Amino acid sequence: MTARPLPASPNLDQLKRQAKELRRRLEVAGILLDAGADIAARDEFASTALAWAARANAVQMAEFLLARGAPVNPPDGEPCATPLMWAERRGNAEVAAILRRHGA
């Protein structure tokens, strides 16, 4: 009896696309920082990239930004929440733990 290949899983395909997109985002972030972008810059909502990573539970992006020197405790917009406060508020325990390890 010969084994038949398993059909492609939509979940596996989705995970592959997400992994590829994450690698692209990390590459773009690295290019921008290497070109002189301010890692502590704020957007129109007064949020830093690290705060957005904390909100979105973007573990690898948070680790990347911290490794590149992102400030761990800047106040972040209204009501002046830090990245740790955003991670905890959203229930993003893994990012919260990473932030604590970096002094938050």
Average pLDDT, the chain: 86
Looking at the domain assignment, is residue 6 inside a domain? no
Whether residue 20 lies inside any domain: the answer is no
| 16 lies in some domain | no
Q: What's the total number of domains in the chain?
A: 1
Whether residue 84 is contained in a domain is answered as yes
Q: Is residue 55 part of a domain?
A: yes
pLDDT at 60: 95
* pTM across the whole model: 0.80
Task: Look at residue 70 and tell me if it is in a domain.
Answer: yes
Max distance between CA atoms of the chain, in angstroms, equals 65
Does 22 reside within a domain? no
Q: What is the pLDDT of residues 34-50, one digit of tens each?
A: 999 999 998 887 889 99
* DSSP H stretches of helix in the chain: 10-34, 49-56, 59-67, 83-89, 93-101
**CATH label of the domain that carries residue 90:** 1.25.40.20
Residue 44's domain comprises 38-101
The pLDDT tens digits for 57-90 are 999 999 999 999 999 987 655 556 889 999 999 9
pLDDT for 8 beyond 60:
no
> For the residues 22-28, what does the mean pLDDT come to?
92
| Confidence at residue 29, expressed as pLDDT on a 0 to 100 scale | 95
Backbone CA torsion sign across 50, 52, 55, 59: negative
Angle between helical axes of 49-56 and 93-101 (0-180°, round to 10): 140
* Domain assignment of residue 93, yes or no: yes
